[in-house]
Amino acid sequence: MYEPTTTRSTIRFMKALPFDIVSEIFSYLTQDDCIKIMSVSKSWYERRLKNQRFLRCLGPHVRKAVLSASSRDELSMFLATLLEYTCDIQSIVFRCCKVVHKDVYQVALRPFLSTLRELSFEDHPYRLSPMHMMASCPNLTHYTYHFSDRPDYHTYSRVSSKLLPDTLQLSIKYLCLNTGSYSDFRLGAILHHCPQLKCLVVN
């Protein structure tokens, strides 16, 4: 059996081809083969081959998204892509996101409010108001907020722009708050607004 080897001349040849031709060639390969080939050449990896494979996986069957964004634009672009491919997003996890203000998350999540049931912030470098985030997503049943205690992370805190009405009732059933050294959030007020709560995990 003959197994072709990747040489520098082959890589140079592939670089010279238009992207649509290279993409067509790679479309006949398995997922594992594509991963191996993209690891051979940085240019193949950067020429959106990874993104093309990613986009082909999107659709209404995608119900959970995990995002680590370093900017507002990156966060917005990713969520806009999910909308464009009509993903039925019910769960979103923001992992180590560098976006500061809760307002940015609230605006970005608006198109998903009718379907979003679970929202998580994992190892989050900034303090967000759990109450305001939960209130901005009225159909949430699960909310998780883990504040990072890494010393190289900033702990930006922003005063809430408005007070929530005392009569507000949220549909939260599962609540996990790991706030690290953040002692300023008011658990009593949160519990007051979550009458359907069935599970509470607090650190």
The answer as to whether 30 is a domain residue is: yes
Residue 194, CA atoms < 13 Å, CB-side half-sphere: 25
Report the C-alpha gap between 88 and 136 in whole angstroms: 19
> Amino acid letter at 91?
S
- Spatial contact of 141 and 118, defined as CB atoms under 8 Å apart: yes
Query: Is 19 in the same domain as 79?
Result: no
Nearest to residue 143, comparing CAs of 181, 105, 107?
Answer: 105
Query: Is 16 in the same domain as 76?
Result: no
pTM of the model: 0.69
- Number of domains making up the chain: 2
Q: To which residue do tokens 């203000």 refer?
A: 101
3-state secondary structure at position 143: strand
Query: Is 74 in the same domain as 129?
Result: yes
34-to-16, 28, 30, 58 alpha-carbon distances in Å: 19, 9, 6, 18
Q: Report the pLDDT value the prediction gives residue 159, as an integer from 0 to 100.
A: 46
The answer as to whether 2 is a domain residue is: no
Domain that holds residue 65: 60-202
pLDDT by 10s per residue, the chain, length 203? 334 444 455 556 656 666 667 667 766 766 566 666 656 666 655 554 556 666 777 888 889 999 888 888 888 888 998 998 899 999 999 998 888 788 899 999 999 999 999 999 988 877 788 888 899 998 999 999 987 766 555 555 454 456 778 788 999 999 998 765 444 457 777 888 899 999 998 87
The answer as to whether 26 is a domain residue is: yes
The answer as to whether 3 is a domain residue is: no
Phi, psi values for residue 58, rounded to 5°:
-85, 155
* Residue that terminates a domain, selected from 55, 72, 93: 55
Tokens of 202: 């607090």
Q: Where are the beta strands (DSSP E) in the chain?
A: 64-67, 91-95, 118-124, 142-147, 174-178, 199-202
3-state secondary structure at position 119: strand
**CATH assignment at residue 136:** 3.80.10
